[in-house]
Amino acid sequence: MSNTVNKLTAVYMKVPEGYVAFIEELPGANTQGATMQEARENLREAAALVLEANQAIH
**pLDDT, tens digit, for every residue of 16-52?**
999 999 999 999 999 999 999 999 999 999 999 999 9
Q: Residue 3 has what pLDDT?
A: 73
Domain assignment present for 23: yes
Is residue 3, in this structure, part of any structural domain at all?
Answer: no
CA distances to 17, 24, 25, 30 from 34, in Å: 6, 21, 24, 14
Cα distance between residue 54 and residue 19, in whole Å: 26
How many residues does this entry show for the chain? 58
What local confidence, expressed as pLDDT, does residue 2 receive?
61
Q: Measured between alpha carbons, how far is 51 from 19 in angstroms, rounded to an integer?
A: 22
Is 2 domain-assigned? no
Q: Is residue 14 part of a domain?
A: yes
Indicate the helix (H) or strand (E) that contains 41: helix 36-57
Domain presence at residue 33: yes
At residue 1, the pLDDT reads 54
DSSP secondary structure code for residue 8 in this structure? -
User: For the chain, how many structural domains are there in total?
Assistant: 1
The reported pTM is 0.84
Domain of residue 49, residue span = 10-57
